[in-house]
Amino acid sequence: MHSLLSRGNAIVAYTLSLLACLTFLCFLSTLFVDYRTIAAINTVKVVVKSVPDYSAAREECDLGFITFDLQANLTNLFNWNVKQLFLYLTAEYSTANNALSQVVLWDKIILRGEKAILDFKNMNTKYYFWDDGSGLRGHQNITLTLAWNIIPNAGLLPSIVARGQHSFAFPSNYTVTRV
């Protein structure tokens, strides 16, 4: 005869393994989904200033100011295993000092059920575009890319880079007026 305790124990164990199994199936069902999609990125205003850097030994550093357009339809990325998306816009470039610099300029969280169609015009960046020297002025190839982390209900946390990037150049003269 089973005691009440061992019966309770069996039910708990059964429920737990069932849940683990369902979670695994949930994870499997979305393992091979292609989370890449197209993002259209464009720069509107591009300016570079030379600004005193009080935090470092160097006296002046380049600070870039850009505004950008961004369009993407991320509706398709939301399946039942996607809890939220963490989007971020990165600028990538190389200089004599650094083989590869990556600067996050903007980010956004889209929760499940929120509007997943981005249509931004002339947006300001959220974060400063500092270089650690004078690498921005006259730079001919700064590449902007949109990427996202998928926060799932179960499983991996993939980081995806959107198709479509935008390259631009900084002017060869510093702007001295306020922007």
- By the criterion CB under 6 A, which residues form the site for ligand NAG? 73, 75-76, 92-93, 117, 141, 143, 167
Q: How far is the CB of 2 from ligand NAG (least distance, A)?
A: 53
Q: How far is the CB of 24 from ligand NAG (least distance, A)?
A: 28
Closer Cβ to ligand NAG, 63 or 144, answer by number: 144
List, as one string, the DSSP characters of 5-52.
Answer: HHHHHHHHHHHHHHHHHHHHHHHHHTTT-----BEEEEEEEEEEEEEE
d(CA 156, CA 145): 22
Tokens of 23: 């979670």
- According to DSSP, residue 151 is labeled E
Closer Cβ to ligand NAG, 40 or 151, answer by number: 40
Q: How far is the CB of 169 from ligand NAG (least distance, A)?
A: 10
Closer Cβ to ligand NAG, 5 or 100, answer by number: 100
Closer Cβ to ligand NAG, 9 or 141, answer by number: 141
Q: How far is the CB of 95 from ligand NAG (least distance, A)?
A: 11
Locate the DSSP E strands across 20-171.
39-52, 60-73, 82-93, 101-111, 117-124, 129-130, 142-152, 159-161, 166-168
10 Å CB burial of residue 142 (0-12, 13-18, 19+) is buried
Closer Cβ to ligand NAG, 76 or 97, answer by number: 76
Contact residues for 47 (Cβ-Cβ < 8 A; gap 6+): 64, 65, 66, 171, 175, 179
Q: How far is the CB of 118 from ligand NAG (least distance, A)?
A: 10
